[in-house]
Amino acid sequence: MAFIGFRVTDQLAARFEAVAATRGGKSRVLRAMVEAVTRSPPGEGEGPGVSRGGSNKVTLRLKDEDLAALDAAAAEAGLRRTEWLVACARRRLTAKPQFSEAQALALLETRRELRRIGVNLRELARKMAEQDGATPADIAAIQSFQSEVRAQLEGVRAAIDGNLEFWESEA
């Protein structure tokens, strides 16, 4: 990233700092000034709003009570403020569930283990069916275990659906 520097009088610097303090800081104001002076006509080259990399910054101003509500909601979800806002936006834009990394890993591992258990139960049921020594009680027990595994997998699906509903707009 390039650096542009120049000297000004102490009085001009003090006045600039006072103005910049109300507008996000000296660097932000200087960047905006450079962008305004070098702005290309629409559709030509870089200009305001053009991506500078993998992500862009969006600034949001909130009243104190809204910020407190945002912080409470983010803390309740186990996310930082920005993560919570990004999850809201992504949910609305992509219609996909939004989990924290820990939540996503836990759900994936749970689903993987439940599927392994289901495979083992099917294999056990097949082997028992091949043997003549399987009693109706044994087969009923395996079927009960299989039903329980299906119910737990449905619980994982419900967690995903609940996440989708959580991020839905209330408007």
- Domain ranges in the chain are 1-49, 57-96, 101-166
Tell me 54's DSSP state: S
pTM for the model stands at 0.41
Nearest-CA neighbor of 90 among 81, 99, 78, 79?
99
Is the per-residue pLDDT at 132 higher than 80?
Answer: no
Tokens found for residue 24: 């996000």
Report helix, strand and coil shares of the chain as percent, to nearest 5. Answer: 65, 0, 35
Report for 10-24, 32-46, 58-72, 86-100: range of highest mean pLDDT:
58-72
78 close to 105: Cβ distance less than 8 angstroms: no
**DSSP states of 144-155 as a string?**
HHHHHHHHHHHH
pLDDT of 52 > 70? The answer is no
Helix (H) or strand (E) holding 32: helix 26-38
What SS3 state is found at 61? Answer: coil
* Residue found by looking up tokens 């936006």 in the block: 89
Please state, in angstroms and rounded to a whole number, the distance separating the CA atoms of residues 171 and 142: 47
Task: Considering only residues 114 and 103, tell me which one the structure prediction assigns the higher pLDDT.
Answer: 114
pLDDT of residue 65: 94
Percent of the chain with pLDDT over 90: 8
Would the pLDDT of 67 be above 50? yes
Compute the distance between CA of residue 40 and CA of residue 83 in angstroms, rounded to an integer: 33
Residue 140 binned pLDDT confidence (cut-offs 50, 70, 90): confident
